[in-house]
Homo-oligomer: A and B are copies of this chain.
Amino acid sequence: MSRHAHGQPAGLTRNQALVHRALAEAEGPLSAYTILDRLRGEGLRAPLQVYRALEKLVERGLVHRLESLNAFVACSHPETAVHDATAFAICDKCGTVSELADARLARRLATLAGEAGYTLDRSTVELRGLCRACRPAAG
């Protein structure tokens, strides 16, 4: 496995490693600007530094972008080869995010896209609702 003992993936540049660590240490998704703020102490100053690092990290499947939130999360199972068919459940109240991998869903999406005449390159699946903790207790 391409990691050191400290859990940092190998082969990252300084900025990439900083951004990845910020996300890995966060409880939930962070916006690019929040990441920037958290890394000012490390010398980062401009949005582009963060966006460039994020771009590479997303390419490598180490970070996911949550489109409906304009935010980013560290991938919770970076070992997995395929990261472009991942679904996310997002709690509308507390913001908790769960990463879901499901082959059946992936197949259904591929089939649907194919039937509509599209090749499927990557998919965005974001489910909004309430997590167990935030759900009002049942009668």
Contacts and interface: CB of A to CB of B under 8 A. Distances in A.
Interface of A: 67-68, 87, 89, 91-92, 98, 100, 102, 104-105, 108-109, 112-113, 116-132, 135
22 contacts: A67-B124, A67-B126, A87-B112, A89-B112, A89-B116, A91-B118, A100-B112, A100-B116, A105-B112, A108-B108, A109-B127, A112-B127, A113-B129, A117-B132, A118-B127, A120-B127, A120-B128, A122-B128, A122-B129, A123-B127, A124-B128, A125-B125
A119 B129 contact: yes
Contact of A116 (B98, B116, B123, B135): B98
Nearest to A109: B127
Nearest to A113: B127
A125 B124 contact: yes
Contacts of A127: 109, 112-113, 118, 120, 123-124
B124 A68 contact: yes
Contacts of A128: 120-124
B121 A124 contact: no
A89 B102 contact: no
Nearest to A91: B118
B125 A109 contact: yes
Contacts of A104: 108
Contacts of A119: 129-130, 135
